[in-house]
Amino acid sequence: MTTWNLTGSERLVLLCNGDTCSERGADAVTLELRRALRAAGLDPRVHTARTRCLGRCDDGCTVTVQPDQVWYRNVTPEVARAIVASHLLDGVPVRSHVSFRPGEHGLVQESGTRPGVDKPVG
């Protein structure tokens, strides 16, 4: 198993590769986002990690950008390229695919996103 040197990393992009997102093309999204990062010269500054389910199956393919706290929905390879070009290069989230973004009191849900189900604590 590879252990990456994260020195100098500024952002972490989590790419959901759970069952639903995988059925919706998560592998292609992951590969294209990583390709676009390399092409833009961002590979050493932006670390990517495939995850299992991020819990937003209705929004799949789901991608998050940390520490920006921006969650993306319905990500395709084309949207992945836009995330790299707009959000990761220029700091401007791709508004048309944002499902949650930071607000004054935590994350704020964008319109067009299903709220989901609250899980009981404990």
- What is the band of 7 on the pLDDT scale with cuts at 50, 70, 90? confident
Reported as a single tens digit per residue, the pLDDT across 34-74 is 999 999 999 889 999 999 999 999 998 999 999 999 999 99
Number of domains comprising the chain: 1
Residue 122 domain-assigned? no
Residue 47 domain-assigned? yes
Query: CA separation (Å) from 1 to 4, 22, 71, 116?
Result: 10, 22, 28, 35
The reported pTM is 0.89
Burial of 78 (0-12, 13-18, 19+ CB in 10 A): exposed
38 lies in which domain range?
11-109
Q: Which CATH number fits the domain that encloses residue 100?
A: 3.40.30.10
Query: CA separation (Å) from 82 to 2, 8, 58, 97, 113?
Result: 28, 23, 21, 10, 20
Residue 1 domain-assigned? no
